[in-house]
Chains A and B, each alone.
Chain A
């Protein structure tokens, strides 16, 4: 149980375009989903907390207008990287929780490359 599906797994886009990443909880309802970014050989950095039906809470230093998060249902959250630039190239991972305690269940991540 507790499977989180993330798509796409890899995407290559040109600078200036937008990319949408989907995160779905397949067998449970996730009132809260989290979006992380991870650069090579580094830790997971929380970008934002996504609550169903309300605005996302962004971490300090994360641009809200650049990383648009939508959590329209209890099983789906999307992250849109707008006007992507090469420095946005990274591994983006979503996660979801079915209750208040650990564990978090992670998607398989999206490798974004902006050329």
Chain B
């Protein structure tokens, strides 16, 4: 079974530039999550999707962050414009029940 796929694995951009991260969840997993992980901290949930619907986006900074999950499969997380403080690892996870979330390897973003 293929795991959660994320791309790119690393991204370096200058501040004020836009950036996008892509996630392909495990086949059959209806729930998809985006997390942000700062250095030395645990992951923090940004947004959760049930199929195409964002059911929890309370932690998503909506002034610069946006996400979409077209057709209830792949998802894209975008930041525009990026700020220095956005440097972090962005993790995507998927699940088909409440007991276990499967995480991708993450995208490490560096904003200079």
Tell whether A pairs with B.
Answer: no
> Which chain B residues have a beta carbon within 8 Å of chain A's beta carbons?
none
> Which chain A residues have a beta carbon within 8 Å of chain B's beta carbons?
none
